[in-house]
Amino acid sequence: MEIIPSFDLLDGKLVRLRQGDFDQKTEYSASPLELALELEAAGIRRLHMVDLDGARSGRPANLHILADVAARTRLQIDYGGGLRSIPSLKQVWDAGAMLFSVGSVAVLAQDEFSAWVEKFGPERFLVGADVRDRQIAVHGWREQTEVSLFDFIRKMRSLGISQISVTDIARDGELSGPALDLYQDILAEFPDIHLVASGGISDVSDLEALTALGCSGAIVGKAFFEGKIPLQYFRVFSKV
């Protein structure tokens, strides 16, 4: 299982939001590039970059940071936020992203999303499913749908998508532990997907539990930035 640090970008700075709320943000002083270099030196191979400005504006807004990190490291970056059209996907690709991280459009505009997958290939997408009570929420978690998580995953598999990130919204930013029962049920139903866990990860024991379940990756944010998962552990884990 890969540890995938999350860089949430707002006004060019690293931040963390509590349950996606822009009014509940914590700002960190670290430089995105310097931290990316440090993570790469610790054995990390992949980075989850979330363009919060882009998510609000509808177009990528932190491409300069993406391009800088991509040019100066060998990290595989999945980039999300503001990806609403093929031109925006091309911008992100040209700036150095290896994967497109998408969410709402895959739920609400499936015909359009299918065209994206056909053009770029299903292997270029990390589809994010944000859930409350196993139903999908969209638009930065502000709107709850009646779309079942399992029906959504089934649809993504029909498009050839195998990399899926699932976030239990109630746990995000709370350091309350990941949704282990949910992930276990997902993997029992879809044993062939590459499941990336997100939300609630608080310490090393959570990562070990997710590894035991068979998750392919774990996105960590607050737990890393607040020292709950020390960088030294990344070095050990990257060798497992």
Active site residues: 8, 130
Distance (Å, rounded) from C-alpha 54 to C-alpha 195?
A: 25
Judged on CB neighbours under 10 Å (0-12, 13-18, 19+), 74 is: exposed
Rounded to whole angstroms, the maximal C-alpha distance in the chain is: 44
Distance (Å, rounded) from C-alpha 41 to C-alpha 3?
A: 14
Cβ atoms within 10 Å, residue 23: 6
Q: Looking at this protein, which amino acid is placed at residue 201?
A: I
Reduce the DSSP state of residue 228 to 3 states and report it. coil
Mutual orientation of helices 149-158 and 180-189 as an angle, nearest 10°?
40
DSSP assignment of 114-155: HHHHHHH-GGGEEEEEEEETTEEEETTTTEEEEEEHHHHHHH
